[in-house]
Amino acid sequence: GLTSRLQNVFGKLRGKGKLSEEDVNEAMREVRLALLEADVNFKVVKDFIAKVKEQAVGAEVTKSFTPGMVVIDIVNKELTELMGGTQSKLAKSNRPPTVILMAGLQGAGKTTSSGKLAKMLMKDKHRPLLVACDIYRPAAIKQLQVLGEGIGAPVFTMGDKTSPVEIARAGLAHAKEHGNDYVIIDTAGRLHIDEALMEELRQVHEVANPDEVLLVVDAMTGQEAVNVAQSFHSQLELTGVVLTKLDGDTRGGAALSVKAVTGTPIKFVATGEKIEPLEPFHPSRMASRILGMGDMLSLIEKAQSNIDAEKAAEMERKMRTAEFTFEDFLEQMEQVRNLGPLDQLLDMLPGMGKMKDMKNVKVDEKQISRVEAIVKSMTKVEKQKPEILNHSRRKRIAAGSGTSIAEVNRLIKQFDDMKKMMKQFSSMMGPKGPKGGMK
Ligand code: GDP
Ligand code: MG
């Protein structure tokens, strides 16, 4: 990730001072690479780098920050700003129903997202009506009906013989009659943008007079998402974007490009096929995802609600000073286990993604119990001073925990790796960490 790359750039540069143009140039090469790797449009990258450079040259490096941290801070703030700063809210009409038109290419996730949007609104006690305007794909109407049934939302259909324009008109009337305060219009998509599709959407737009025109784009399509957004925006005046399939391994650079190129804010993200409430878009979290720093905010938020704050602060201190013992290792594992799926958590933790690559750390729930057994078979001194673990001690521990010497060796190696990682990470973050440290 970018964190470790900048660590290398600034490896020799320590302590107080101002960032020189030379330092910044070198750092910007890494930032540029990280953005291109995340599939951000190259023109967007170019403008962005110029802007960041301006701020970074001459920036003060105070005692509590490392040079790398100063740069990341500027990059992160600018990225967040570029994606709209704060979260954008869904429009709400003064004269209900609020009408939401869903548009996008075939397979982008319009129908699925319509269902998620309905579910989100229902959670807030609204009464959305789903309107089936995709009359072209044979199974499209059925798909929306099944989906509506699953979440208990009404679906308005007129079969596939009536035009989408008429269906939209009738759907709106239906909503007014039945007291639905939101109308979500699911439309057809094509594989590529074509004039007939646009014309139809314009007509539906005209009769529905939507408060929101949400473009649904597939984050996995990367650069292509920008072209799609540009075409739709020139024809339809989009009010927002729903970025889907962020559960894939994309870094989400499309989010940045789409906003930068069209000026349309991303309002929601979707992260799976299951119909869960649509998630609001958090620019700052997307910024750290794009930078490959791990979704630290999510992790901290999650941890805050689950981990004992005092223990976490103590752990942070230990990470900083690298006086991390097997007892801490075990305790941390137990706390982490309470947080949820381990794989997901490790992905969110900066540096941990790299550890997984090293293939030393296997994240397997079953293995944790074995790790527990091994650590519990150590004496107090061994847990605190792992360096004394010679062959005969390891043999004893293996026998005591019902594991093998190979397993014990592997665990000790993992522990050492983690310790090294933490030391690296905490020196990157400076003595106080970003904005006062992880609490
Ligand atoms: P539409 O043609 O735009 O209406 O797209 P659909 O809603 O029918 O979705 C197309 C496919 O993408 C379906 O198989 C969905 O289950 C899947 N899909 C939609 N949103 C997501 C998402 O956020 N993540 C993943 N992994 N799949 C999604
Ligand atoms: Mg559909």
Q: Are strands 212-218 and 240-244 parallel, antiparallel or unpaired?
A: parallel
**Which residues are paired to 214 by β-bridges?**
102, 240
Q: How far is the CA of 148 from the centre of ligand 1 (A)?
A: 15
pLDDT at res. 200: 92
**Pair (399, 316) in one structural domain:** yes
**Pair (313, 376) in one structural domain:** yes
pLDDT at res. 250: 80
Q: Can you tell me which residue has the tokens 């990157």?
A: 428
pLDDT at res. 153: 98
Structure tokens at 77: 């703030």
What are the residue ranges in the chain where pLDDT is below 70? 1-16, 62-69, 293-323, 332-367, 421-439
**Pair (384, 337) in one structural domain:** yes
Structure tokens at 267: 């309002």
CA 41, 234, 173 angle in degrees (round to 5)?
A: 125
Domain C-terminal end among 228, 258, 290: 290
**Which residues are paired to 156 by β-bridges?**
131
Helices and strands, counts by H and E, the chain: 20, 10
Q: What is the helix (H) or strand (E) element at residue 408, kind and residue range?
A: helix 405-429
> What CATH number is given to the structural domain containing 308?
1.10.260.30
Cα four-point dihedral sign 173, 177, 181, 187: negative
Q: Which of 101, 273, 278 has the most ligand 1 atoms within 8 A of CB, as the residue to mutate? A: 273
Is 345 a domain residue? yes
**Pair (117, 228) in one structural domain:** yes
**Pair (276, 301) in one structural domain:** no
Greatest alpha-carbon pair distance for the chain in Å reads 81
Q: Of the ligands numbered here, which is closest to the C-alpha atom of 214? A: 1
Q: What is the pLDDT of residues 132-157, one digit of tens each?
A: 999 998 799 999 999 999 999 999 99
pLDDT at res. 427: 53
Is 91 a domain residue? no
Does the annotation flag 84 for ligand binding?
no
Q: What is the pLDDT of residues 322-366, one digit of tens each?
A: 667 888 777 766 665 655 544 544 544 444 444 444 333 444 566
Distance between CA atoms of residues 240 and 101, nearest Å: 10
> What CATH number is given to the structural domain containing 114?
3.40.50.300
Distance between CA atoms of residues 26 and 31, nearest Å: 9
**Pair (7, 55) in one structural domain:** yes
**Pair (224, 252) in one structural domain:** yes
Query: What total of structural domains would you count in the chain?
Result: 3
> What CATH number is given to the structural domain containing 43?
1.20.120.140
Is 103 a domain residue? yes
Domain C-terminal end among 261, 290, 319: 290
**Pair (164, 304) in one structural domain:** no
pLDDT at res. 357: 44
pLDDT at res. 48: 92
Could you report the predicted ipTM of this complex, rounded to two decimals?
Answer: 0.99
Whole-number percent of the chain with pLDDT over 90 = 40
Is 93 a domain residue? no
Distance between CA atoms of residues 345 and 335, nearest Å: 12
Is 171 a domain residue? yes
Q: Nearest C-alpha to atom 9 of ligand 1 is from which residue?
A: 109
Residue 251 is classified by DSSP as -
**Pair (172, 231) in one structural domain:** yes
Does the annotation flag 80 for ligand binding?
no
Does the annotation flag 247 for ligand binding?
yes
Domain that holds residue 236: 98-290
Is 111 a domain residue? yes
